[in-house]
Chains A and B, each alone.
Chain A
Amino acid sequence: MELILDHVSHSYGDVEVLSDISLSVGSGEIVCIVGPSGCGKSTLLRILGGLEKPDHGAALIAGEPPSDSLNPLTYVFQDFALLPWRTVEGNISLVLEDHSVRKDKARAIITDVLARTKLSEFANAWPRQLSGGMKQRVAIARALSVNPAVMLMDEPLSALDSQTRELLMDDLIELWGQVGFSACYITHNLAEAVRLGHRIVMLSRRPGKIREIVDIDIPLSERINHPAETSAIQRRLWEAMRDEARAADRELSDVA
């Protein structure tokens, strides 16, 4: 299955946020979208997942999602969005309950995703007891439990400190090695993009247009062994982005 944005433009009132964006996320592919803050990355992701309707253009699905996918387009949010009144296990079962998964099947799924995200011993913990990194692992486990065709990740590591971020990046790479999920991964952190993206799409400042698309051929698991190449790419991206970021930073904005 392929997820496609076809000439999407979007405005809030008079503020044009996205302008003529086309891109696609193929099967087993991680597409990173980078851009200065306020350039419409979150908006783009909401449109991709059907939480918002674009003014022009459309989000399209090519091909059928896998038949065992309960929720083909699944989000991972920056603020984790865990229900504080449910345990780790309860937060995952929440998203299975509505898809009439049989009890024992649901149990098996939960055990499996908890093991994959190294959370097995925390099944009965409350969200308030977990660190930020653990919370985001729970959110990733929850997303995996519905077997998504594409994961839509909105700055999933931005709320975490840099050590935790490193650890989770490693875990994500390992997970991708096991499951081979597809993702549209939004970040403003170029290091993350260079570590995790098969393709990096750079947006300009608002209104967000595609400035540059970079494909990186080095396999995810080997990038750590190619520091020279990855940092060269990162530096080139930063050169392109610096002026955009500076201009975006100095813009006045009425909307939060």
Chain B
Amino acid sequence: MSLDATNEIETRTRRNTSDLQQSRKGLVKPVPFRGGGFVHTRHRLIAPLLFVVLVILWEVGSQTGFISNIALPAPSEAAGAMSDLFETGMIWKHLSASLYRLVIGWSLGSLIGVFVGLAIALFSLVRAGVSPFISALFPIPKIALLPLFIIWFGIGEGSKVATILFGVFFPTVIATYGGVDNVDRNLIRMGQSFGLSWMSIVRKIIIPGALPAILSGFRISASIAIILLVAAEMIGAEYGIGAYILMAGALFATDQLIAGVAMLSVLGLTVGWLISRAERLLLSWRA
């Protein structure tokens, strides 16, 4: 990382002092350099490169029989399963079913979560009444409630969307009111001192101030949504990435299973990328 930087600095110091060092015959030596390191430098290529290397090692391992085909299918086989999905067009069926649930569940959960979080942060009555419930319900694995959701919302889309919605709701509430609590009080007092209305203070000071926290909450809730999506699709879904993975598992078609997992990874990366874009767009004032 910055080892190279360290070396460079050391050689430069040596060069500058070398005359002195010679003239004083070893009585003078440079002060040992102890800084450097602990700085993040961006290395864009490392991750893709490492990924490719790992896949190649894996493929070689499978081809040579070092990795048993029963334990783990070769990447080429998983790629074959993936291309089957594209050829039959099934990928679009699975993907659209999953995306539909994900988008609806996550959007509704986030929307309601942000509103409830704001209400908790802004009104002490709501905070006193609601926040203990949030604390009590947050740690419950939503998947444990799936049977209840099926009874309440039906075996179809309702229960799946509800699982995601509830899973997304709680972390969003907590991120939102934590974010509002951390808005600089002095900025709010400034708003009051200039006679801004309550609504203006909320819209122009509190919400933008809480936005960084809300967006990093979105990052977490999006991952939770994907986890819950797969879990919910494993019960009574015909299409969807989760249903595909479950089916593959039941048939011990491990190549399809890996293909399904790869789809989830791509989904996760895409969502992460979208949120990064949103952050760069909405929080451009920070950079």
Contact = CB atoms under 8 A, between A and B. Distances in A.
Interface string B175-201: 000000000101101101111110010
B186 A95 contact: no
Interface residues of B, number: 20
Interface in A61-75: 70-71, 73-75
A70 B193 CA distance: 12
Interface stretch (A7-15, A78-86, A196-204): A78-86
A121 interface: no
B193 A75 contact: yes
User: Which 4 pairs between the two chains have the least Cβ-Cβ distance?
Assistant: A81-B190, A95-B194, A85-B285, A75-B193
B196 A84 contact: no
Contacts, number: 52
A83 B190 CA distance: 10
7 contacts: A74-B193, A77-B190, A84-B286, A85-B283, A97-B204, A98-B196, A126-B285
Interface string A190-219: 000000000000000000000000000000
Interface in A100-158: 126, 128, 142, 146
A167 interface: no
Interface of B: 184, 186-187, 189-190, 192-197, 200, 204-205, 208-209, 211, 283, 285-286
B189 A146 contact: no
Contacts of A226: none
B194 A83 contact: no
B192 A83 contact: no
Contact of B197 (A49, A73, A86, A98): A98
A83 B205 contact: yes
A84 B204 CA distance: 11
